[in-house]
Amino acid sequence: MVVKLEVINELDSLYNRAVELITEQLNNGANTFGLATGGTMLPLYEKIRQSDLDFSNCISVNLDEYVGIAQSHPESYRSFMNTQLFDAKPFKQSYLPNGEANNVQEEAQNYENLLKSLTLDFQLLGIGENGHIGFNEPGTAFTSETHVVKLTESTRKANARFFDSIDEVPKEAITMGIASILRAKCIVLIAVGEKKRAALEALVYGEVTEDIPVTCLQQHPNVIVLTDLDLSK
């Protein structure tokens, strides 16, 4: 087991630790950052916005984007990233998959080609209640690269809180694959709140299985997990 688990009960301290890890990366010369969306990342991005960190020489690549809503939609991941981070902390170049592309399969392939042309020094991850990472839903092959996915009802329900109704939650997305994510040199996963307990337990204690995508991280040499969950309880 190579996953390094850091249990930090107090959320402000947990997010300070995440900022510290990103700062260390920058100080060590990292310049390509894989970024994530989701409610879990809001306090982190808020702290980064308030920091003096400078990403103007860095590249960011996001994990995923919805298909079927405009990039200008307030809940697109492009809008999320602009509002939460990029408007305040611009990168030299910021990439997200284009969920508005006419041919989303081709867009997924192009995004994978882009990823392969870069070396991800760092990848930030959240976790879905069903153990998904990015939008890699249970059953996704660990060999998968960037692809178009049909979102599960569980994921659509979990994300419905950001939309006026569940009917408005997109049914598809483009996501980095498991193999694409595992190429990052260092991965930091943040799991906060009771809803994430089962997925986190699977990551820390479970068998490696494609049925719970996050367990793929057990096969990566440099993963740090920040959580407020005490798994002994």
Residue 37 as a binder of ligand GLP (CB under 6 A): the answer is: yes
Smallest gap from residue 135 Cβ to ligand GLP (A) = 5
What mask of x and - would describe binding to ligand GLP in positions 59 to 98, judged by CB under 6 A?
----xx----------------------------------
Examine the residue annotation and report whether 132 is marked as an active-site residue of this protein: yes
144: CB partners within 8 A, 6+ apart? 136, 177, 178, 179, 180
Residue 174 as a binder of ligand GLP (CB under 6 A): the answer is: no
Residue 139 as a binder of ligand GLP (CB under 6 A): the answer is: no
Toward ligand GLP, which CB reaches closer, 77 or 91? 77
Toward ligand GLP, which CB reaches closer, 59 or 96? 96
Which residues is 173 bridged to in the sheet?
A: 66, 149
Toward ligand GLP, which CB reaches closer, 52 or 180? 180
Residue 134 as a binder of ligand GLP (CB under 6 A): the answer is: yes
230 class by beta-carbon count within 10 Å (0-12 exposed, 13-18 middle, 19+ buried): exposed
Examine the residue annotation and report whether 65 is marked as an active-site residue of this protein: no
Pairwise CA distance, residues 3 & 125, whole Å: 13
Pairwise CA distance, residues 78 & 60, whole Å: 12
Toward ligand GLP, which CB reaches closer, 36 or 59? 36
Pairwise CA distance, residues 53 & 69, whole Å: 31
Examine the residue annotation and report whether 137 is marked as an active-site residue of this protein: yes
Pairwise CA distance, residues 219 & 67, whole Å: 30
Q: How many CA atoms lie within 13 A of 71 on its CB side?
A: 11
Helix axes 11-27, 42-50, angle to 10 degrees: 60
Examine the residue annotation and report whether 9 is marked as an active-site residue of this protein: no
Residue 131 as a binder of ligand GLP (CB under 6 A): the answer is: no
Smallest gap from residue 121 Cβ to ligand GLP (A) = 19
DSSP assignment string, 82-139: IIIIITTS--SEEE---TT-SSHHHHHHHHHHHHHTS--SEEEE---TTS-BTTB-TT
Catalytic residue among 62, 65, 100, 130: 130
Toward ligand GLP, which CB reaches closer, 32 or 155? 155
Catalytic residue among 137, 145, 147, 159: 137
What mask of x and - would describe binding to ligand GLP in positions 140 to 159, judged by CB under 6 A?
---------------x---x
Pairwise CA distance, residues 73 & 75, whole Å: 5
Q: Which residues bind ligand GLP (CB under 6 A)?
A: 36-40, 63-64, 126-128, 134-135, 155, 159
> Could you give the residue numbers annotated as active site?
64, 130, 132, 137
